[in-house]
Amino acid sequence: MSYVWHKQGQELLSEIQSFSLEQNCVGMWYIGQMGMIFRWNGITICVDPVLGAMPDDRGVDRRNYPVPFLPEDLQVDYVFCTHGHADHIHGETLRKLAQTNPQMEIYVPKPLTEVVAGYGIRTEQVKGIRQDEPADFREGFSVRGVATAHEEYQYDEEGASRTLGYVFRLGDHRLLHAGDTVVTQKLIGDLKEEHGLDAAMVPINGRDLERHARGIVGNMDSREACWFGSMIGADLLIPLHYDMIGGNEENPLVFAEYMERMYPERRYHIMRLGEKIVIV
């Protein structure tokens, strides 16, 4: 499969920074794997950014395509990471973003704050989030962490989940970034409390015995993702986590086929690398 950036470099950076539609719109850009950037009301939010190499045990980069830009070139206010795997909490990316953006705050599941601070990031920039405890940031902007099961639920001794999805409340809009997870009845129930989501970003790379043998922890697959989106009432379903890492790819057209055949009344969008969509 060929991976080509729709936009990258300064063209993409300028588009993100200059996005200034009316307050009730959200700009969204896909930057690979589960990486997303949101722009709303002058605020830039980045989720699970990986803007550097992903070397294997031999030092060979596992990325299927280059980074769209260097982390030190991105202006960002908030970064959210969903869990501790390197394709979601990428130490080099976070350290360089923090150095360039000293006002930036990094939010991670509460049990992982010390891990992130250990990347050479000032401790005051690193904040912990616990599931089901909404955090208010600015007027009209809040985030709720939702416990997820990256094949299984994992909690620390104080009951804080080590893996989170995030519901971003931006003005009148609610966006789900699911991080890495399988579908559970608990997760469906937690998200039904939101009473509708404008968009849900979900992983579709699945899981199987062969990848388990290589130490790869899996996620929902395309069929599960389509059903999940229907169950939580997401207006727009966006598949992610199928392209960046060699040996762990999936074909998003399988997702599209399920949506067309089983949920023809529901909206979905397969994002190009560096593509923008606007939630209005």
44 has pLDDT over 80 = yes
Q: What is the pLDDT at residue 96?
A: 98
In the Cβ-directed half-sphere of 232, how many Cα atoms lie within 13 Å? 31
For residue 4, tell me if it sits in a domain. no
For residue 109, tell me if it sits in a domain. yes
1 has pLDDT over 70 = no
Q: What is the pLDDT at residue 208?
A: 86
139 has pLDDT over 90 = no
pLDDT, tens digit, for every residue of 252-261? 999 999 999 9
For residue 166, tell me if it sits in a domain. yes
For residue 2, tell me if it sits in a domain. no
pLDDT, tens digit, for every residue of 199-229? 999 999 999 888 888 888 889 999 999 999 9
- Phi and psi torsions of 149, nearest 5°: -115, 95
For residue 92, tell me if it sits in a domain. yes
274 has pLDDT over 80 = yes
3-state secondary structure of 64: coil
Q: What is the pLDDT at residue 23?
A: 65
Query: CA distances (Å), 279 to each of 29, 198, 229, in order?
Result: 11, 7, 17
pLDDT, tens digit, for every residue of 46-93? 999 999 999 998 999 999 999 999 999 999 999 999 999 999 999 999
Residue 6's pLDDT band (cuts 50, 70, 90):
very high
Q: What is the pLDDT at residue 22?
A: 65
Number of domains composing the chain: 1
Distance of CA 171 to the CA centre of its chain: 20
For residue 76, tell me if it sits in a domain. yes
Distance of CA 219 to the CA centre of its chain: 13
- Range(s) of the domain holding residue 88: 9-279
For residue 1, tell me if it sits in a domain. no
Give me the mean pLDDT over the 106-113 stretch. 98
Question: Nearest 10 degrees: CA dihedral of 214, 217, 222, 228?
Answer: 170
More confident residue, 109 or 139: 109
Look up the CATH number of the domain holding residue 58. Answer: 3.60.15.10
